[in-house]
Amino acid sequence: MTTSDVLPTRTLSPVAMARNECACHLNDGSHYGAWPCLVGKGQRCAHFEAAVLPVADWFPQAYAECRDRYWSAAGEPGRMVGATVRHCECGEVLPPRKRLCARCRRLRRQTTYREAARKSRSQQLDPKSSPQVAGA
């Protein structure tokens, strides 16, 4: 038996690919763990993207079009399922786990450094704010 005997000859939908290749897909259309299959609902599935879609790279003649149909229906590749795109104050897209983009981070660091230096200089020049030794 060769791989051409096992692989489908017609174009599959992403749901059919999940049914054939996903280890979590049950015969009744649900997922292991009793939640519904997200691919069947037209949504992105992290397990399908991590474990099933790489099969399309191994067998491009059978699954390449299916992979393309999944990405066109589900959204752009590379984004995590459920992840939201966050933007910085300047409007740039933020990387994961960052509060500011690199440019805004540098500008804020410069601003806080300058404010601290200005405050320190003003306290050094102001005789009221400097501690004096009693009895000197």
Residue 116 and residue 63 share a domain: no
Do 32 and 53 reside in the same domain of the chain? yes
Residue 133 belongs to a domain: no
State the pLDDT at residue 77: 54
- Which has the higher per-residue pLDDT, 107 or 78? 107
User: What pLDDT, on the 0 to 100 scale, is given for residue 12?
Assistant: 73
Residue 57 sits in the same domain as residue 109: no
Q: Is position 134 within any domain?
A: no
Are residue 89 and residue 55 in the same domain, yes or no? no
CB 18 within 8 A of CB 52: yes
Confidence at residue 48, expressed as pLDDT on a 0 to 100 scale: 80
**Domains held by the chain: number:** 2
Q: Tell me whether residue 50 is in a domain.
A: yes
Residue 125: its pLDDT value, please?
A: 76
Would 89 be classed as within a structural domain?
yes
Are residues 52 and 106 both part of a single domain? no
Chain-centre distance of CA 15, in angstroms? 23
- Per-residue pLDDT band at 10 (split at 50, 70, 90): low
Q: Assess whether 68 and 89 both reside in one domain.
A: no
**Is residue 67 domain-shared with residue 90, that is, in the same domain?**
no
Q: Annotate 13-79 with DSSP letters as a single string.
A: PHHHHHHHH-TTB-TTSBBTTSPBPTTTTT---HHIIIIITTHHHHSHHHHHHHHHHHHHHH--TTS
Q: Which tokens belong to 41?
A: 């609902």
Rounded percentage of the chain residues whose pLDDT exceeds 70? 69
Distance CA 49, CA 80 (A): 9
Higher pLDDT, 94 or 130: 94
Residue ranges making up the domain that contains 62: 7-74
Tokens representing residue 123 in the block? 């306290």
- Contact between 86 and 31 (Cβ < 8 Å): no
